Structure 1
Amino acid sequence: MLSDAPALQPLIDAMRDGIAVLSQDGTIICVNTTWRQFAIENGGDPERHYVGTNYLGICRKSAEQGDRLAGQVEAGITETLASGADFRIQYPCHSDTQQRWFELVTTPLVLERERYILITHRNVTTLERARLDLNDAEQNTRNLSAIVATMPDAVIAFDLQGRITSWNAAAEKLYGYQRGGMLGQSIEMLYPSDWPQAASDYIAEIVKSEISHFDVVRQTRSGELRTIAVTAAPILSATGDVIGVSTVHRDVTEERLAEQRLRSVLDNLFSFVGVLEPDGTLVEANRAPLEAAGIEANDVLGKKFWDCYWWNYAPETQNRLRQSCARARAGEVLRYDIQVQVAGGQLLWIDFQLAPLFDSDGEVINLIPSGIDISDRKAMIAALETSHDTFKNLVAGSPFGIYTVDADFRLAHVSSGAQKVFENVRPLIGRDFGEALRIIWPEPFAREVVDLFRHTLATGESYHSPSTIERRHDLEEVESYDWKIDRITMPDGRYGVVCNFYDLSERQRYDEHIRYLMREVNHRSKNLLTVVLSMARQTARSSPPEDFIDRFSKRLYSLSGSQDLIVQGNWGGVGVRDLVKSQLRHLGEGLQANGIRLNGPDVTLTPTAAQGIGMALHELSTNAMKYGSLSVTGGTVFIDWSTTGNGKSFTIRWKEAGGPPVSTPEHSGFGRTVIERMAALSVGGAVELDYAPEGVQWQLTAPMEEVALTAAAAELIKARGEG
């Protein structure tokens, strides 16, 4: 044993690391206070603290069980004993509650000419964590640099003097300046010459508020002014001092213009259109419902839809709206008639629809409520029901003849007007129909009529004889009838046959005409709503969310122009020249007068053709104004149409000239689908589209019968309108 252990113990106890002294055979002969405390706190030997235990033996046993670290420690201690060289190794020593790392150091110790080993277990957790944090920081820096470099939005950083320190690839694309030429330049290079604020003003506001969102106007290298949405935040040093500003720039020029156009379009619609958050909160409403109710937008925006003025007249109505929002949020489209409250507490019937709006991932991002006033339709339906009841009462007592035959082939009902025909048949009701006929009519006519009734009863096939002239068997008189038989369901649920005789066709035509008018009124009142919803869905599926409003509003404006012409024409035909002018109206009077040339004969298009061709003309004019001949002074568009092949074919052409050079676009979106496919499909024709360098050329050719409204069809529409 070490005789100087009592003198050595205070020295090792004063050391903060865990210390143990080993003899040459590896036996622990003494340990310090830190060692003993660690053993107690971590489930070790609480009595002797491993004094007297062979340290090398413990390591050897653990190594044999697969502990690689124990084998390395055994080898290191053995080498220190043999050569006197120090050995050190770092190892993890984690507990259930914390992560720890230690460094084991073996040092030779000579006392009283005896060689020992001094083993030190030093806690290096703080150093190891610092090293790991440094590695993580370095990796995070590399990750952040990669993210910034590949972001689709422009990322620009500058110091407190406004000198640019970072400029990513998206910034190069947005502004047209290369990164190498911008580093060190003033951020004010992007400001328009008349911009009222300096970079220092923005820096002061950003530093004060820590993060900021705002719109500005900035100028590209080509001199183009763009509306930019800026998100800015201060850059801090390691000590927390502000050393610069980081900004994200997103071009929202078209989005802001689209918002203005959409607002204009929505406010000029005669129907109700709104936008809800998925939870039912109203975030947008057009002018029509606000004016109808006599309220302001601030009275309803931000409220749950069912709590707004239009619906708070009845709890059951509010509950129905609440349930409808939940179903629409799940992806369902709902449509029904409901009463809405307008100014003065009056109730108005509307055809109401609530539809979900999906993003490109199929997630519901908004709910779109819409409605059309159908008060007139409701009044007409009520009038029709009254007319039907009146008609039924008139039939029961009319001089025209109506009678029925049941499934047992017996007379079941004979109207007052039919009694005279059966005046010599008694008893009448319940009488076998064949016997009754043979009393009135001779053979073979009676047998032929019986066979016709039985055939209709068995097959449901109707029979109509516009003129039957026969001599009655019972009266010996010649009589003439216009009669018709049909199979019906009798009150007992079985089939029967009804016979109408004398001329009831005029009344039937009148009744059918009334029903046709009602279907037309119902169809036309819903048509605009259906087309708008279909367009919103197609645009949402083919456009990212940030482009939806712009593209949807433009197409809605185009549809509105065609719709106005169709309505003005009493839902009949639309002249080509009128259609073209309506679709170019958004260009402005100056551009229409100086940049558009029209030529073609008077041709009246069907509503379907007008709608398809009108949408194509709108897409072409929009592209021409943005990229083509109408985007520069002096550019021209020639639009002409003609009939060929002895009037069997119709052709309309669009040709641009005097604009910038044209090349085929790399991407094909919904607009190109409208120009190439939808216009052709609407008229059963074919489209030729050529991106010639001197200007876009588009031609649609279709059969005349699919495009033009025929004289017969025009007369029919006129007659229906007058009826």
Structure 2
Amino acid sequence: MLMDSREPSRTEGPAGHGADAADAPSVTLSALPIAAALIDAQERYVGANTAFADLLSRSPAQLLGHPCHSLCPTEPTGLAALLRQARTQGGPLCADLPAAEADATTGRLRCRCQPVTDGQLLLLIDPAPPPASAPQAHSILDHIFTFVGVLAPDGTVLEANRASLEAAGITLDDVRGRKFWDCYWWSLDAETARRIRRAVRSAATGATPRFDIEKRMAGTSMVTIDLILSPVHDEAGTVTHLIYSAIDVSDRKAGEAALARSEQRFRQVVESAPDGLAMVDTHGHMVLVNTGMESIFGYTRGEMLGNTIEMLMPQRHRSAHGALFQGYLEEPTARDMAGRRELYARRKDGSEFPVEIGLNPIPTETGTMVLATIQDVTRRKADRQMIERALEEKTVLLHEIHHRVKNNLQVVSSLLNLQARNADPSARQALSESQGRVKAMALIHQLLYERNDFSQVDLGAYLQRLCVLLQESYRDGPARFTLQVNAADEVHLNLQRAVPCGLLVNELVTNAIKHAFPDGRSGHIDVTLVPIDEHQCAITVVDDGIGLPDDVAPGTSRSLGMQLIPLLSDQAGGQWQVFREHGTRFELRVSTTPQEAR
């Protein structure tokens, strides 16, 4: 309701009729831009604005107290029926009624009747239509696609454009003359209606309230609108009208909600990260830190935000960091800080600790920022040092083991040599061959001891030294031979396969020396090692002696050497072949793949 805030006064009506102060109009009619009058329960005028009085060629004061059927701008019978129906239904009604005879030139007038208070009715009558060249205000509003309307200062709806009405599925008659907060748009929520009412009151005092609010559309659908109530002042500065305008911001709100959810997920990821995360701007100031940073450094979030990243560094590194940081910003890339070199950070209590830092450039509207991932590696460093110490101890232990095994095998070899001195010739030969086998095994451990590599043996170097030992062992024997080794580099075998390969070469070369060159005959023995591909190598022992007899074959002959050849080949995980043309050629193919080690 538009309540008149002025003190009630006594107004004299025509023919001596007076209206007591209690009967004074409770609605500010002068604010309405159309003809308006207030009618009491006895159907007498208790108020009228100038536009209404002009329809009857009188002043507002001259109408007070007069029955409306005696001074009426429309046909009295139709008006009386409209008033009665409005009282009966208790709601606003609208009808087009013929103009009174005195105003027949105006044709038909649109009359709106609405109950107000104390049995009074508010009667609104549109004035005569303006000339065709002067468009009406509502037709102008209808060409505006946003929601627009005109209100009286007390919140009474005067006009609403087509966009606002059609979106809600209502007509202008459903809202004109009603209070803005009582209209269809806000009818689903009492709190929304109260908020609109407060905004109208604020705008009536000259303020321009603006806020987002839910507005009802057709049915029960809702949209979010950005609503503005703008006061219109006259020349004296009095608020005469309120302009209601709004735009649908549902999409914007949905986008803002999606952005808020995305930011929430980002913050959850950042906060749940076990490492420290710090976002640093182009000036080196921290603009974002997570809980991990508080836990690692002992500072609160407030103490770190806005400060430079240098506060987390040891004092000795701070002066040089600025130039390094700017150099990084010139060519920012995702990388480890300092190339995984040892870095140290400083806690709030002044203690230093080792860290690893990853840098990731983040392009933003204000420039490239850097997201630093900081890990406290104190425990990892301690664990690594413990592992290194344990590995060093095991290395020393293995080094000592191979050294002692080599020494023990040499002792065995010496014992065999001593035993051979007092043995008969056949036993001496067997002991000498056994001594050669022990030397071949001892040589393996000697190489492992010398090279500090206990996982694999350089097969080429091993065969070179093994053949030198064999050459020296049989230098004073009856055979005249030359022993040559052609070994490729970078052929390595593990210990489990290198030992049987060495023993096999020892047996083959020994057999060639003993049997290939009888009766003082001279000849050549060649030992060759070549890689076949990435996974295999070939060991070949060739002599140009008298050749292997037809009744002698590895694995079937009774001699120990011939029986050992297939057994040692199987232990090496290899495949062997024997060729008897132009002497004897024995070939062994061995896998160099570590997974195939036995």
TM over 0.5: no
What is the TM-score normalised by the length of structure 2? 0.34
What is the TM-score normalised by the length of structure 1? 0.29
Q: Which has the larger radius of gyration?
A: 2
